[in-house]
Amino acid sequence: MRYRTLGEIKKKGYVRGDRLVTTEWLAKNLKDPALRILESDEDVLLYDMGHIPGAQKIDWHADLNDQVLRDYVSSERFQELMRARGIDESTPVILYGDKNNWWATYALWVFELFGFQNARILDGGRMKWESEGREMVTDVPKFPPTSYVAPERNDKKIRAFMKQVQTHVEKGGKLVDVRSPQEYSGERTHMPEYPQEGTLRGGHIKTARSIPWARAANADGSFKNADELRAIYEAENGLAKTDDVIAYCRIGERSSHTWFVLTYLLGFKKVRNYDGSWTEWGNAVRAPIAVGTNP
């Protein structure tokens, strides 16, 4: 299947609109035998309650994260996952999920750590599909396993570690905190309506700009158009396509959404996701923090 930027997506003016598909397009292509649809949710029970026909489940914790280390799965485990889902390098994959595609973009980011480039995001995700009254089913599809061979995971290009973030801050690099304003200011240590746990201190990494991830999404879960996104990230917050940008949140899920926006929708050249995020930084001994609002 050859991807191209769809008309509805093209109108939104993205640099890489081919990394998105619409709900209309997916509805018309559900019966394509080559296609694999993957649902990745924060609420891992949602899939069992109903999902897009033909969709398979990706559990962000059990399938993508190592169960002992705080790290992602090995290439061997990723290989097993892809083979079991009937996916190889040539397989077109559509990812979608709840929370305006938080976990769908997170899954795509992890896929790209292994060099997998054939995945797209369903614009609007589960919310838009359901709001349009499109079909949901509970049966779980089965596909023939593949012989996919996963390369070694590459953590250098799109992933940042704590020491790299420290060096980035010292050099005056651009840092984006995508959490809620209350988390950024130090008023809260977790998202609103969630238990306040996970870190010993509230606040943000020094020099980080507060640009909440959800500002990039419309009410229906779809991405705002390119002009609206440029107004937020470039005009309002001074980011440029040539900047070296690191995004972070609490554990890297919300910041993967911003990574996707900056990398593919706006065409930024170097964006990394700091998945250690505030859970690591806010608990680390002698890690400098700041409190308050954007300077």
Closest CA to 46 of 177, 133, 138: 138
Q: From CA 288, how far away is CA 133, in angstroms rounded?
A: 48
- List the beta bridge partners of residue 21: 122
- At position 180, the amino acid (one-letter code) is S
**One of 81, 107, 165, 249 is an active-site residue; which one?**
249
> From the centroid of its chain, how far is CA 120?
11
Q: Residues of 131-149 as b/e, b for ≥16 C-beta within 10 angstroms?
A: eeeeeeeeeeeeeeebebe
> In Å, how far are 77, 109, 133, 231 from 116, measured between CA atoms?
14, 9, 32, 31
Torsion of CA 255, 231, 294, 105, to 10 degrees: -10
Dig out the tokens for 247 from the structure: 């995004």
Specify the pairing of strand 204-205 against strand 289-290. antiparallel
Q: Do 124 and 165 meet the contact criterion of CB atoms below 8 Å apart?
A: no
Q: Do 256 and 102 meet the contact criterion of CB atoms below 8 Å apart?
A: yes
Q: From CA 55, how far away is CA 110, in angstroms rounded?
A: 19
Q: Note the maximum CA span of the chain.
A: 55
Handedness of CA 105, 107, 109, 112 (dihedral sign): negative
Dig out the tokens for 210 from the structure: 């507060």
> From the centroid of its chain, how far is CA 207?
23
- Told to judge if 221 belongs to the known catalytic residues of this protein, a careful annotator would answer no
Show which residues are catalytic. Answer: 249
